[in-house]
Amino acid sequence: EIVLTQSPATLSLSPGERATLSCRASQSVSSYLAWYQQKPGQAPRLLIYDASNRATGIPARFSGSGSGTDFTLTISSLEPEDFAVYYCQQRSNWPGTFGQGTRLEIK
């Protein structure tokens, strides 16, 4: 089973700042990596699929990069609604594992 490790566990930033979230895979997942945002009491929301493709309706301030084992989600300028938990997920092979999440909190 492929293990995804997200860092940092918690990121404290202010609105307007740039956020960089990392996801590292225990073996190559090619570009089969997605990012999800989850707010309390809500279902996850797809942000990025296949490492760098923004999902429908996702603002341009969200971008994804990477391939192989190292991936990054960047939020260029944080808006108040961006403070949430972010998960990466691979589906290079079954089971499609999730990372443990990064909590993005307001500083």
**Distance between CA atoms of residues 92 and 75, nearest Å:** 25
**Distance between CA atoms of residues 31 and 18, nearest Å:** 24
**Distance between CA atoms of residues 78 and 83, nearest Å:** 8
For 24-56, give one letter per residue: b (16+ CB within 10 A) or e. Answer: bbeeebebbbbbbbeeeeeebeebbbebbebee
Nearest to 44 by CA among 99, 85, 74, 78: 85
Q: Which of 55, 63, 68, 74 binds other proteins (CB under 8 A)?
A: 55
Report if residue 62 touches other proteins, rule: CB under 8 A: no
Report if residue 91 touches other proteins, rule: CB under 8 A: yes
Binding mask 5-44 for other proteins (x = CB under 8 A): -----------------------------x-x-x---xxx
Report if residue 86 touches other proteins, rule: CB under 8 A: no
Q: Which of 24, 45, 54, 61 binds other proteins (CB under 8 A)?
A: 45
* 9-17, 20-28, 67-75, 97-105 -> range binding other proteins (CB under 8 A): 97-105
The residues that touch other proteins, with contacts defined as CB under 8 A, are: 34, 36, 38, 42-46, 49-50, 55-56, 87, 89, 91, 94-101
